[in-house]
Structures are given as C-alpha cells and as structure tokens.
Structure 1
Amino acid sequence: MTTDTNNTNDTNNTNPQNSSMQKVARLSGLADNSMKRVEVDGTPILLIRRGDAVRAYGADCPHAGAPLEQGALCNGRLVCPWHKGTFDIDSGALVEPPPLLPLTRYPVRVTQDDVLVDSMPEPASIATASASDARTFAIVGAGAAGGAACAALREAGYAGRVVLIDREPRTPYDRTVLSKFVPSGEMSPEKIPSLLPDDFFEKHAIDLIQAEVTALDARAKRIDIGSAPSIHYDAALVATGGIPKRLPLQGADDAAVKARVRLLRNRDDARQLVDVAAQSEHALVLGASFIGLEVASALRERKLRVTVVSPGNVPFEKQFGPELGRLFMRLHEAHGVRVRMGRQARAVAPRDPGDADGALRVTLDNGDSVSCDFIVAGTGVTPATDFIQGVTRNGDKSLDVDESMRVMEGLYAAGDIARFPLHAPIDERTRIEHWRVAQQHARIAVNAMLGRPPAEPFVPYFWTYHYGKTFDYLGRAAHWDETRFTGTPDTFEFIALLGDKGKLVAAVGCNREKQIGMLAEAMRKPLSVADAMAIATAD
C-alpha cells in the first residue's frame, strides 16, 4: 500500500530510495486517533493518525511553542495543551487562537507499513494585496484582536487593502506576559514575543500606521488621524481595548505619589514597573484581580514583600466561587503574600514628606495604614470608544454588537469594548476582558466583513498563572448552583465543574490540560454536568 496523505502528488517520491523522505515510524505502531512526535533532519514533526491516513505537522504550537503531542484530539481537531489553540487535523488550518497562523505541513507518505516524512515543509498559501480588489478594510488597535484580524483576512484570501492603526510603534505582541513573566524578571520587556512573524505585515502588504485616531465617523466610514489624510473604509474593526480607571484614592494626584503608582497595560508600563521594582522592597497591589494577583506572584519571585488589598471575601469569588477563591488565597499566603480582603484603600500620601526615599503610606477604610515603596493598581478599565462618532454607547462606554460582532453597517467591534451575545454555554449578553476572547471576536468579525456565514459557537477561555501553576477557565458562569470536583484541589491537580440546573456553565482546571482541551470542544454545544464529568475523568 502506498498512500499520499498530505497531498504531495510527486510520483518520483514513490520509491523512498529516490526521495528526500525518511522513514520515521510504522503505521502499525501508531494507534488510531493518536499522535507521535518524531524528528527528521533535526526538525520536530508531529504525526497524527486517523484510520489509515497520517498527517505530518510542525510539532510545536506556533503561538508559544507548546509540545502539541501533549494536547487533545477530538472532533477532528487538535487542541494545544497550554493555551487551547485549536487546529483542523486534516488540513492544519487554524480553528481557534491564540496562534494566528496554521500549522506547518510536511509531505508524508505511507508505503506498506512505513511512514515516510520529508523535512522540507509544504509551501504556505496566504493571500496578499492585489489591485483587482479595490476595497479598504481598516483595523483600529494593534492588540490581540487587531493582529488576529490581519492574519484572518489574508488567510481567508482577502486581497484588498488592510490598514492597521495603533499608537504603539511595534507590531502586535503578547500582552499576557506583561503580568505573568515580565515583573518577575523571567522575561525582559524587550523580549516580549510578537504575535506574528516580524515580516508578516510587509510580506502580506498590510499598511501599518503609527498614529492616534482622533475620530472615526461610523456613518461616513471615515477615520481621521490628525493632520494626515483621512482613511475611507469599506469596513472597519475597532479593537482599542480599555483605558485604566483613575485610582480612587485621596492624594493620588500628588506628584510624589504618581511617580510611585504603576499600571500595567502595555510594554512601557511593564518597563516602568520593572524599574521601580528593582529599587524597592515592598509592593502594594490594589485589587485582587487576575492581573493583580499575577503581578503579586511575579514580584514574590523577585523576593519583594507584597501586600494585596481588595474588597470581597476571597479572590475570584465572583468567577470561581468561595471554595476555589480560598484555594487561590491560600496559595498566595503560602508564598508570603499578605492578603487584606474585605478592605479598601481610601488615601495615599508620602510616608515622610520631604524624605528622598519616596515611600508611601496608604490608609485603609478601617483606619489601618500600609507602608510600601510603590503601588500596582488593578482597578479595571473603561472601554476606549470616545473617538467613535455616530454610534450608541452603553453606560460603561462599551458597544453592543450582534453575533457577527457588527455594531452597524460597515463597523465591527472586538475585545474589551464589545458587549456581545454569548450562547455557549449559556445565553446572555456580556463583555469579557481577555485577549483570547478578543482574538475570537476578530475572527468572527472577519467572516462577516467578507460576507461569509458565521462560524460555530465559540467557548470563552482564559488562563491565569501563579507560582508556576497555570489555571484554565472555560465558559462563563454568571451564576451556578453546584460545583463538582475531580482530582485534588489541594495539590493543584483538579477540574472543577460549575453547573446550573444540571447544565455545565464553566470549568476550572489545573494540571489537567488534555481534559480541559476536550471540554473546550465539547462545550460548543450544551453539555450536562454528568457528561462533563465523564470527559474530565477520561485518561
């Protein structure tokens, strides 16, 4: 039997002695619906067997290099173990971010029982600009959604003009590391990885404009960027994220205080945080948000003393419930963080006016005070939509969108600014501030901009990182009436299933990457808690 499974129809390669293909495995040694990592001329390659067919792809996820053989195969898809990027098994095409490009394909042939693979990849096919398509698509905001939209447009074959506008000078980069790895010193601000190859925008003729958008007239389909000529578009995607809220502290506007308050929204913020942390001993984190506690974890890696002040009973109670919230609090306390829950900061002032050390004293609502060298503020964001004209905003400045992320004719929104209808696993209109959801939004919007039918329902997902442990969260639980565990939460190997009237609404997991990947696919449709438990306990 000779089977060409990756469409390499070169008949000269039928005889392995006359080709560059190398034997890497036996078909009989590969279980059906299984994966195996091999090397060909030093290139790591992933073999996937389905029936008598074998596919060969790059073995590491194009997003962050995760070993894909540790992921999950389900519904004809491969789910990355780390961040749940999803690919079609038969073609390698991207299904779900955070990767923004498809898997690299390698020629593979099955001859009798031998599996042969070539280390030279098949050529990628992504469109570039063409004068035959006179349309202009504009993307405002070069974050996670902006990068995803650029890649998705060219991947889909769109050959018109693409304009990407952002105030920052560098192409889209991975902002998740800003709170996870940069404050600890594990990664420098200069080494933050890009979301796309450095030559992607030039190679695919995407116009990068570094500028502040002063106005977007949604009815005239016009974008103004100061003194430069306005851009007239056929369709526009706005993905501008959020603006950090003002620190609600008496004395926060004092110049000496401002110099010691750090936000964390971009690379410059991260650089300033690292600089002040290198000169400090004690950090105060305001707000037990995901970013706030990730920064607390990272600063403890630097051996700084860290105090967290936040209202509420336990961290993440709204998202995960009290039991899991206490688990996170115990984890931080075990690593030396002083957690002051149920408290709010009311005022801040220099500890010793006139003292050159710059230390601060923060007064809490019960009269206690905390001395610190600097403050990390995690008080939330306001959607950045003030520049958009001709649209209706919600009270929080977000924009309502439909299932295609459409605000109005020719205008789409993604990410933090979009309040969208969510149908899986529950029906609600919501706003989610996470970059992977923003990327999913962008891909949905691109489909609509190109007049394509909507994709299948997506499942919200994010991950949070504390003291070397990654916690995965699937779905969105506005309310739930039961929490069922498998594994052992105290040893941080578990999945918690949050159910409402027997229906799964969310899942939280730690060190259960394969099962979480399988749940991510299963949750595209309504799923009972009982069926979810069967998946969560599968080998």
Structure 2
Amino acid sequence: MSQGQGQAPTGQDQDQVTGMVCLESELQDGQMKEVEVDEQKILLVRTQGLYSAVGSKCSHYGAPLIKGALVRDRVRCPFHGACFNIKTGDIEEYPGLDCLPSYKVKVEDGKVYVSVNKKSLKVYKRVKDMSCRVSGVRHTILLIGGGPASLLCAETLRQNRYEGRIVMVTRDTLPPIDKPKLSKAMHLESASLLLRPTDFFQQYDIELWTQKEAVSVNPVEKTVKLNDGSLHYYDQLLISTGCRARPLSCPGSELEGVRILQSYEDAKEIHLSCVGKKAVVVGASFIGMEVASYLADKAASVAMVGNGSYPFERSLGPEIGKMTMQMLEESKVKFYMNDGVVEIRGENGKVKEVVLKSGAVVETDVVIAGIGVIPNSDFLKESQVEVDSRKAVIIDKFMRTNIPNVFGAGDVTSFPLTIRKDQRVNIGHWQLASAHGRVAALNMLQKQIKIDSVPFFWTVLLGKSVRYTGYGEGYTEIIFKGKVEERKFLAFYIKSDDLSWLQM
C-alpha cells in the first residue's frame, strides 16, 4: 500500500529528513499520535484510512495539539479553540494567524514514514501564501481599525490574490497587538505583543497608518476624513474600530491616578503605578478581575468594587462567581460587592481614597475602571450607516452594512448569530473578531460566505484558565459536571434547546 505524494524513504533528497514513525496498523480512523522525525515533533493523524501529518503545536500560543479534539478533518486546540485542517495545516478557526506546517507521508510495507524539509525543522507555524499589490490596479480597500478584524481582513485579501491597495488606519501607536494579553500580563514589552512585525506589512504591501483616527465617512463620495484633516478615497470600506473602555463619571474621576485599560500604554502605566502601591479596581468584569488577579502579588493592596453579589454573576452564574471571588480573596484581594463608587477624593490633584455607596472609604493610590465598553461608532453619525441602540454597527451574515461596499467586523458590530437562530448580538471576543475579518474579506471579493462561527472566549485568573463556548445569555439552568469548589469542572448553560458550556 502506498499513500500520498511523499518521497520514498531512500534518503536521496538532501533537503528531506525521513523517518519511520509507526506501523500502519498502529492508528485507527479518528486517532492521533505525536511522533518525532529528527527531534521534530509532528502530529500524525489517521482519517478515512489515510495518514496525514502536520505541526504538533497550535500556532496561537504553542499548545500541544495531541491534547486537542479531532473531528473529521479538523483538529481543535485544547487551549483556545483554534482549528486546523489536518491535511493542509491551514487554520480554519481562530484565534491565531498562522497555519501549521504539513509534511509528506508515505505508507510502505506496513510502515508509516514522514518526511520533513530540513529548513522547516523546529518551525511550528507557517504563514499562508500571499500576493502583493500590482502597479496599475487602482482599486483601494480601506480598513478603519487596528485590531484582529482588520488584520485578518487584510491577510485574507492577500491570501486570495487581491492585488489592489490595502490601507489600515489605527489610532494606536503600535501595529496590531495581542490585546487579550494586556489585562493578563501588563508588564510585557511591546515587541512581544506584536501580532506581525512591521516588515510583514511592507512585504505584503499593506499600508499601516498609526496614530490616525477616522472622524467622518461620506458613502456618496466614498471618502473617509481623518483627524489630521486628510481625505481618503475608498472602493470598499471596513469598519472595525472596536470599542473603548467606559470611563468613570463620578466626582474625582479626573484626578491623576484614575485609569482605564485600552492600549499598550495604559497597561504599562497601570503596571508601573501599582507596583508597591494601593489599587482599587472598579467593576468585577472579566477585564476588572484579570487586572485584580495580575496585581494581587504586585500591589501593596488590591480592592475590587462590584455592583453584584459575585463577579460574573449574570454571565456565568453565582456558583462560578463565588468560586472566582474566593480565588482572589485567597490572594489578599478585598471585595466590596453590591456596592459602587460615588466619589474619588484626592490630595494635590492625585487620588487619595474612594468613597463607596455603602459609606465605606477605601484608601488608594490608583483607581482602575473596568465597567464596560462603548462601540467606537461616533464618527459614523452623518454617514447613514445604521447603528443599533447601543451604537453598534448593524451588519448581516456577510458582514455588510446597509450601505453598499461598506462592511463591518468585530466588537463594534451587531450581527445575526447562527447558533441562536440569527438573534442579533454584539459580542466582544477576539476569536469572533478574527472570523469577522476573514468573512468580510471574502465577501469584498464576492465569495458570498456567511459568518458561521461559534463564539469562544477565555479568561485567566491567578494562572487558572476558564474557557467558554457558545452564547448563553438568558440561560434558565446550569448543569455542572465536576465540582465548582474543586476548580475543575464543566458547566452547561441551558435555554430551551440552546446550549453553551464553560470549562475550568
């Protein structure tokens, strides 16, 4: 029996290293095995009687895919849910940007051989082939926003041989970064957060304009005005401006030491200002809890102010909220729940203490707000692009707005969610924003592809990971497998015939 187009294991090709990795009978259909060729770890998979081999680590954060789930021709990362085609190595669901390397497989005399190119040894991810701009092609696609939706849109366009001009406009000082890390590891240097190096954008002719912000859109003239007064023409436009952190509005919120977490610079400032100091986090949100978790062993003290009985009570339920609260309490975080901030008092223009609704007064040097977000859509006010009551941009399953050639993607949008019978939702997940960007690009190229992703997000508290799949808003029942108090469990959120689940 012979399989694939892999080279016979003769050692004739000087660029290849070939190794016998297992017997043909060793794996059954639907099984995986981690093998090695010249110390290169490889994921070997058997489906429909055929063997295939790809990189063994997820291209997102390097998780071992052998611990993931194999369903037909896809392997799903055990950490954050990225999916890869086990025949091509291509990434098919996010988070992450890159594909896996794929390797030649040959079955001969009942033995399975895998060949690895010497140049790809120790490489666990692969950038998909992309085109560049071709001179003379005048078509321009303008991407407003510097997050994963814009980046995936740009890359997908080039992967599908779009040869026109791509311009990405962001108000950030940096190229696109891995923003989920900002609240989990606030000390990281900017270079370690970059999703792509600067020369990547140059290599694939993606113009990146930083520290620029759209102030208006004219769909009739097909122009966007920036905050520097410049006017720019587009043929197709993507609105992927995300959301901004909601600021505190109580007396004293203008004092030095009151902060929000929006950018790399914000994270850096929070880290530097809190080390050895007293900190109060307002809002027991995912961002707020992650910040409190990060600061627990760095600040002199950390207090959390929340308006519910427990953190995450509405979204994850009281049992899980109580458990996460206990985790942080064990690390000396003090909670003021069913409470709120009515005033921030200062001295010499700097924060000194926080006054709560309950009457409690908490001494602090820094106040960090994690009280929700606001869609960045104000610049669309005169554009006739439709937004909902929360100011989220309304799009359909093809990422189209009500205006021809204007698309939306990511946190700034409201879209129909397939798993909830097309209920219109606004979801701020990194994975979903990435999927939106890809689908927007394909539909700019007239591919007629619908968004069909299942929402996924994760949070990390004191090194403990919590992963959530689905959309459980309005759940009526929670079924637990395992014990919440032992911090290793599954929770299933039920609403009639809908199901979401959480793993810890």
TM-score, structure 2 normalization = 0.91
Match of residue 522 from structure 1: none
Q: Structure 1's 132 and 30: CA in aligned 2 closer, same or farther, altered over 3 A?
A: farther
Q: Structure 1's 3 and 197: CA in aligned 2 closer, same or farther, altered over 3 A?
A: farther
* Distance (Å, rounded) in 2 between the aligned partners of 1:41 and 1:367: 66
* Distance (Å, rounded) in 2 between the aligned partners of 1:395 and 1:214: 20
Equivalent residues in 2 for 1:352-391, closer than 5 Å: 353-354=347-348, 358=350, 360-388=352-380, 389-390=382-383, 391=385
Q: Structure 1's 263 and 149: CA in aligned 2 closer, same or farther, altered over 3 A?
A: same
Q: Find 1:430's aligned residue among 425, 428, 434.
A: 425
Secondary structure at the aligned position of 2:61 is classed as coil
CA deviation after TM superposition for structure 1 residue 191, in Å: 4.4
Cα pair 1:177 1:192 within 8 Å, conserved: no
TM-score, structure 1 normalization = 0.86
Cα RMSD after superposing both structures:
2.2
* Distance (Å, rounded) in 2 between the aligned partners of 1:444 and 1:496: 30
CA deviation after TM superposition for structure 1 residue 431, in Å: 0.8
CA deviation after TM superposition for structure 1 residue 387, in Å: 1.8
Cα pair 1:251 1:349 within 8 Å, conserved: yes
Q: Find 2:179's aligned residue among 164, 175, 182.
A: 175
* Distance (Å, rounded) in 1 between the aligned partners of 2:230 and 2:115: 50
* Distance (Å, rounded) in 2 between the aligned partners of 1:393 and 1:427: 17
Q: Find 2:158's aligned residue among 145, 154, 160.
A: 154
* Distance (Å, rounded) in 1 between the aligned partners of 2:127 and 2:219: 39
Q: Deviations over 1:369-417 (max 9, x none)?
A: 1111211111222111122242233332221111112112111111221
Cα pair 1:172 1:196 within 8 Å, conserved: yes
Q: Deviations over 1:93-138 (max 9, x none)?
A: 2211111222222222222233222322599532332347542111
Deviates more, 1:486-495 or 1:77-86: 486-495
CA deviation after TM superposition for structure 1 residue 334, in Å: 2.3
Percent of pairs with identical residues? 31
CA deviation after TM superposition for structure 1 residue 316, in Å: 0.8
Equivalent residues in 2 for 1:308-347, closer than 5 Å: 308-347=304-343
Q: Structure 1's 73 and 370: CA in aligned 2 closer, same or farther, altered over 3 A?
A: same
Match of residue 410 from structure 1: 405
* Distance (Å, rounded) in 1 between the aligned partners of 2:127 and 2:182: 34
Moved over 6 A (4+): none
Q: Structure 1's 398 and 220: CA in aligned 2 closer, same or farther, altered over 3 A?
A: same
Tell me whether 1:32 sits opposite 2:29 in the alignment.
yes
Q: Find 1:86's aligned residue among 79, 83, 92.
A: 83
Amino acid at match of 1:335: S
Q: Deviations over 1:5-29 (max 9, x none)?
A: xx55xxxx32423233321412322
* Distance (Å, rounded) in 1 between the aligned partners of 2:153 and 2:127: 22
* Distance (Å, rounded) in 2 between the aligned partners of 1:127 and 1:262: 42
CA deviation after TM superposition for structure 1 residue 429, in Å: 1.0
Cα pair 1:137 1:236 within 8 Å, conserved: yes
Cα pair 1:213 1:387 within 8 Å, conserved: yes
Match of residue 142 from structure 1: 146
* Distance (Å, rounded) in 2 between the aligned partners of 1:134 and 1:39: 48
CA deviation after TM superposition for structure 1 residue 85, in Å: 0.7
Tell me whether 1:17 sits opposite 2:8 in the alignment.
no
Q: Which runs of 5+ in 1 are unaligned?
A: 511-539
Amino acid at match of 1:207: E
Secondary structure at the aligned position of 1:181 is classed as coil
Match of residue 523 from structure 1: none
Amino acid at match of 2:498: L
How many residue pairs were aligned?
Answer: 490
* Distance (Å, rounded) in 1 between the aligned partners of 2:20 and 2:296: 45
* Distance (Å, rounded) in 1 between the aligned partners of 2:227 and 2:310: 46
Q: Structure 1's 127 and 401: CA in aligned 2 closer, same or farther, altered over 3 A?
A: same
* Distance (Å, rounded) in 2 between the aligned partners of 1:446 and 1:164: 13
CA deviation after TM superposition for structure 1 residue 247, in Å: 1.0
Secondary structure at the aligned position of 2:102 is classed as coil
* Distance (Å, rounded) in 1 between the aligned partners of 2:462 and 2:227: 45
Amino acid at match of 2:501: A
* Distance (Å, rounded) in 2 between the aligned partners of 1:140 and 1:337: 39
Q: Find 2:285's aligned residue among 258, 279, 289.
A: 289
Match of residue 93 from structure 2: 96
Cα pair 2:354 2:361 within 8 Å, conserved: yes
CA deviation after TM superposition for structure 1 residue 158, in Å: 2.1
Cα pair 1:216 1:222 within 8 Å, conserved: yes
* Distance (Å, rounded) in 2 between the aligned partners of 1:300 and 1:240: 32
CA deviation after TM superposition for structure 1 residue 151, in Å: 1.8
* Distance (Å, rounded) in 2 between the aligned partners of 1:108 and 1:127: 28
Q: Structure 1's 227 and 180: CA in aligned 2 closer, same or farther, altered over 3 A?
A: closer
Match of residue 111 from structure 1: 108
Equivalent residues in 2 for 1:204-219, closer than 5 Å: 204-210=204-210, 211-219=212-220
Cα pair 2:258 2:351 within 8 Å, conserved: no
Q: Structure 1's 437 and 283: CA in aligned 2 closer, same or farther, altered over 3 A?
A: same
Q: Structure 1's 504 and 226: CA in aligned 2 closer, same or farther, altered over 3 A?
A: closer
* Distance (Å, rounded) in 2 between the aligned partners of 1:94 and 1:324: 32
* Distance (Å, rounded) in 2 between the aligned partners of 1:290 and 1:126: 36
CA deviation after TM superposition for structure 1 residue 36, in Å: 2.2
